[in-house]
Amino acid sequence: MSFFAFLGMQYDFQWSVLWTGERGQWLLQGILTTLRLSLTSWVIACALGILSGALRTVPWKPLRLLAAVYVEFFRNVPLLVWLFFWYFGVPQALPRAAQDWLNHHGPEFWSAVAGLSVYHGARISEVIRAGIQSVPKTLLEASVATGLSVLQAYRLIVVPIALRLIVPPATNESLNLLKNSSLALTIGVAELTFMTRQIETYTAKAFEALTAGTLIYLVLCLGIASIMGQVERRFRIPGLIARAGRAEH
């Protein structure tokens, strides 16, 4: 009998709907799609974010402006709108042959990847910029004074330090990306939330399906948080972010 019985809820729980028949497989497929979608988008988003975050701090205005335009344009429009834009809008601009090709190679998934990575790239960019700007300017000047070029100073000194400083906010962004990937169901990507809704549709057991979804997201997010925690400890520079190491996050 159910845990909710004492609350008087008129609902008969049947947790077995989550694994009987092909439904366990659906959930598994959903988890895999969510991970594939999030991971692909995360890699691209990080690349975009690091590039544009670094560009926003370089001592050359046109590049700073370019990066600022990218960030402000993409982070100030809701992700849902971007997903529709990439799925319904962008392919229209392509030639007919490219559209046909795309239609046979999972346009839903790749539109979702485009939407998530460009949107989160803009957000990660801000995190990176904050990290770089928290590295004292004198450090850049000192590096250049040792004979490094500005590009080398960025690549070898400034960005590596900044990346270590921003692990906690970057964890936050990564978790957001994973959770936001659930919006991809609006353009027909069969990810985890989609699959829980599918189970609900087939079995009319909404609470079980939603609970399963909630717990799986929780486990995935806690997993990522703990991996990022290990990354933080592993790459810590003694004396620089030692305080962050002690603080509860």
Whether 122 and 75 have beta carbons less than 8 Å apart is answered as yes
For 230: left if phi > 0, alpha if psi spans -120 to 50, otherwise beta; the answer is alpha
Whether 178 and 172 have beta carbons less than 8 Å apart is answered as no
Supply the minimum distance, in Å, between the C-beta of residue 244 and another protein. Answer: 19
Closer residue to another protein (CB): 126 or 191? 191
**Nearest 5 degrees, angle CA 49-CA 174-CA 71?**
30
Supply the minimum distance, in Å, between the C-beta of residue 7 and another protein. Answer: 4
Rule CB under 8 A: say whether 29 interacts with another protein: no
CB under 8 A: which stretch of 136-144, 151-159, 197-205, 228-236 binds another protein?
197-205
Rule CB under 8 A: say whether 172 interacts with another protein: no
The two tokens of residue 53 are 């975050």
Cβ count within 10 A of residue 15: 13
CB under 8 A: which stretch of 53-61, 131-139, 195-203, 227-235 binds another protein?
195-203
Residue linked to tokens 């939330």: 193
Rule CB under 8 A: say whether 188 interacts with another protein: yes
**Dihedral over alpha carbons 130, 136, 141, 145 (to 10 degrees):** -120
State the Cα–Cα distance between residues 56 and 67, nearest whole angstrom: 6
Rule CB under 8 A: say whether 176 interacts with another protein: no
Site string for another protein, 77-116 (x = CB under 8 A): ----------xx--xx------x---x---xx--------
**Which 118-147 positions form the footprint of another protein (CB under 8 A)?**
none
Rule CB under 8 A: say whether 10 interacts with another protein: yes
Whether 191 and 181 have beta carbons less than 8 Å apart is answered as yes
Supply the minimum distance, in Å, between the C-beta of residue 119 and another protein. Answer: 19
For residue 129, give every residue at least 6 positions away whose Cβ sits within 8 Å of its Cβ, in sequence order, or none. Answer: 53, 56, 57
Rule CB under 8 A: say whether 23 interacts with another protein: no
Single-letter code of the amino acid located at 235: F
Rule CB under 8 A: say whether 160 interacts with another protein: no
Footprint of another protein on this chain (CB under 8 A)? 4, 7-12, 87-88, 91-92, 99, 103, 107-108, 185-188, 190, 194, 197-198, 200-207, 210
